[in-house]
Amino acid sequence: MKPITQENARVGFVGIGYMGRPIARRLLESGFKLTAYDRDHSKAEELIQYGGTVAHSVSELASSCNVVMSCLPNDEVVLKIYQGPEGVFANAHPNSFVIDMSTVYPETAQQLSRLASERGINGLDVTISGSTPVAEKGLLTLFGGGDKECFDATESIFRVIARKYFYLGPSGSGATMKLVVNALLGIGMQAIAEAVALGEKAGLDRNRLLNVLSETAVVAPAHAGKLERAINSDYSPQFPIRLMNKDFGLILNLAAAVGARMPAAAAALEVNARQSEQGEEQDFSAVILQMEQQAHLAYAEKGQARAGVAGAQK
């Protein structure tokens, strides 16, 4: 199998969102020829300044490229992009490569792999660990599922966008590993949010609390930056809470399917969902706000109860 290089690759990228945009930009800046498609054409057009071109349909993109990459919000959108007469598989050339980087259910990744194989296309699920700033610096971590020879053949792409990349096994393995990692990411953020609320209610200065926590060994690098932003009440989305909420659903579905108990994940989903339902586009670290609000509410209710008892005693 001939390796992909900057010289022989014509990359098509579908989904120019929070992660897709910086990944596509890095590929362009490293010398790859890239055509972009997004339902919002203005997002794809932002890449023209970096040397990219814009496709006006998925079929146009797939028919003009020998590597199709995608980074999309959910399983439904992924399947819609790849299936049907106007989809990627109906229009991609045999022996081309498809690399889906979306966070989807492992069965969806396996379904894409089967459809690719039927068309003589090389399909990979290569999922992403890292936020938007990490993607901008080309320091992502990638988890690959699919044929090992295909994964090795596309290594030149991974080197440009990632600090580390791992082959996990057959199709669906990359998707599974991403859910494992995001379980830790989301549950860890929930634990931090509860600890912050506890420290505040116990009388610690909020800024000092957040600063010190970010320097401790128990806080992972992925969470430390969130604490620094929380000091300034900056919850602008690097990884939107609606996507973390969606991922928790996938995680718990997988847990139910394989018989794994995940009570902490179920509790974290509840808090994520409550904050996500507020409608504002926020980072998943906004669960800190949710736990702070719950702590303040509990304290106020306790004060009202005390006042009621005192009044009755009079």
> Based on the domain organization, do 124 and 191 belong to the same domain?
no
Residue 267 sits in the same domain as residue 283: yes
Task: Place 295 in a pLDDT band, splitting at 50, 70 and 90.
Answer: confident
pLDDT band, residue 225 (cuts 50/70/90): very high
178 is catalytic: yes
Look at residue 176 and tell me whether its pLDDT is greater than 80: yes
Task: Tell me, yes or no, whether 149 and 112 share the same domain.
Answer: yes
For the chain, helix, strand, coil in percent to 5 are 55, 15, 30
165 in the same domain as 17: yes
pLDDT band at 302 (very low <50, low <70, confident <90, very high): low
Which domain, by its residues, includes 239?
Answer: 178-304
Does any domain span residue 49?
yes
Span 184-207, average pLDDT: 96
Q: Decide: residue 264, CB within 10 A, 0-12 exposed, 13-18 middle, 19+ buried.
A: middle
The angle formed by the CA atoms of residues 27, 29 and 30, to the nearest 5 degrees, is 65
User: How many folded domains does the chain comprise?
Assistant: 2
Both 94 and 33 in one domain: the answer is: yes
Does residue 22 sit in the same domain as residue 155?
yes
Mean pLDDT (the chain, rounded): 94
- pLDDT of res. 66: 97
Please say whether the beta carbons of 59 and 90 come within 8 A: yes
Q: What per-residue confidence (pLDDT) applies to 296?
A: 77
Q: Is residue 309 part of a domain?
A: no
User: What average pLDDT does range 291-301 have in this prediction?
Assistant: 75
Q: Is a pLDDT exceeding 80 seen at residue 149?
A: yes
The pLDDT value recorded for residue 300 is 55
- pLDDT band (50, 70, 90) for residue 314: low
Please check whether residues 21 and 145 belong to one and the same domain. yes
Q: Are residues 142 and 239 in the same domain?
A: no
Looking at 43, 178, 226, 246, which residue is catalytic? 178
Same domain flag for 76 and 161: yes
| 132 within some domain | yes
pLDDT tens, residue by residue, 235-289: 999 999 999 999 999 999 999 999 999 999 999 999 999 999 988 899 999 999 9
- Mark whether 18 and 117 lie in a shared domain: yes
Tell me which of 136, 154, 170 is where a domain ends.
170
Q: What is the pLDDT of residues 39-92, one digit of tens each?
A: 999 999 999 999 999 999 999 999 999 999 999 999 999 999 999 999 999 999
Sheet holding 10-14, edge to edge: 53-54, 33-37, 10-14, 67-70, 97-100, 122-129, 140-146, 162-169
The Cα–Cα gap between 4 and 34 comes to: 13
Residue 272 belongs to a domain with what CATH number?
Answer: 1.10.1040.10
